[in-house]
Amino acid sequence: MAPELWPNDELTRLANRYSSDKGTIYNCAHGYTRVYQALLAPLRTSPLRMLEIGLVHGQVQAERPQDIDQLACPSLRMWSDYLPKAEIHGLDIVDFTRFSNARTRVWQADQGSRTELDAVAAKVGGNFDIIIDDGSHASHHQQVSLATLFRRLAEGGLYVIEDLHFQPAGLELPDITLTRDFLRGLPERRPGMRLAIDQAEYAYLVEHVQSIQFFDSISPRWPLAISADALAIIRKKGRHPAIPPVC
């Protein structure tokens, strides 16, 4: 996909500039920036607090580790430019804390550990307005992170999970319901799912989730039948001072 696909989309240009796969060129080239642009353009000057899980593409870590210091954390650089008044936090199981700077704070933690997630949230203090999970993509990790951090999301805030169409074979647990299927069934409390969260965490989500929207990935690596509904935006109930309600 060429960067000119959406010529007025500044966020896509930034993603491509910093080599983020949320854009249209690098690594998986999901094109999620078209969704984020529509969602966040009205919020560009708002003092948001954002947390992103997963900071360096796994392919870069595995095949081009020598490039990491130059690339740093691509999406955090993108968010820092696009949201100049936002307080931006990044979290990864790998130690990328050296990339912290005046605009961005990077934390090391395991997204599959409630204790470690809670510890980071306590150090940050307060709630997040936007949380993005682009971490391991393993269903149980996604579900633990959602159950733990959704409580740390502001009323009316947004929780985003990326790449629901992909689960890493080395990490995915075969007896856990896929997160995409879990989210599809959550509004109707679909029975029979095997989840990595307990009943109290499930009940909290049922009570506090206002809506769930799905969007596709445009990555050329997968056919649309697989990459449809790859991105989920989960909105928390309540009124947010900056984020408009669902129409």
Write out the catalytic residue numbers. 137
CA 246 to chain centre: 19
Spatial separation of the C-alpha atoms in residues 76 and 132, rounded to whole Å: 11
Q: What angle do CA 12, 32, 30 make, to 5 degrees?
A: 95
- Amino acid at site 70: Q
Spatial separation of the C-alpha atoms in residues 205 and 146, rounded to whole Å: 9
Q: Report whether 114 contacts 148 (CB < 8 A).
A: yes
Instruction: Sort 172 into a burial class: Cβ within 10 Å, 0-12 / 13-18 / 19+.
Output: middle
Task: Kindly give the pairing relationship between strand 104-108 and strand 87-92.
Answer: parallel
DSSP 8-state assignment for residue 98: G
- Amino acid at site 27: N
Tracing tokens 């069934």 back to the chain, one arrives at: 185
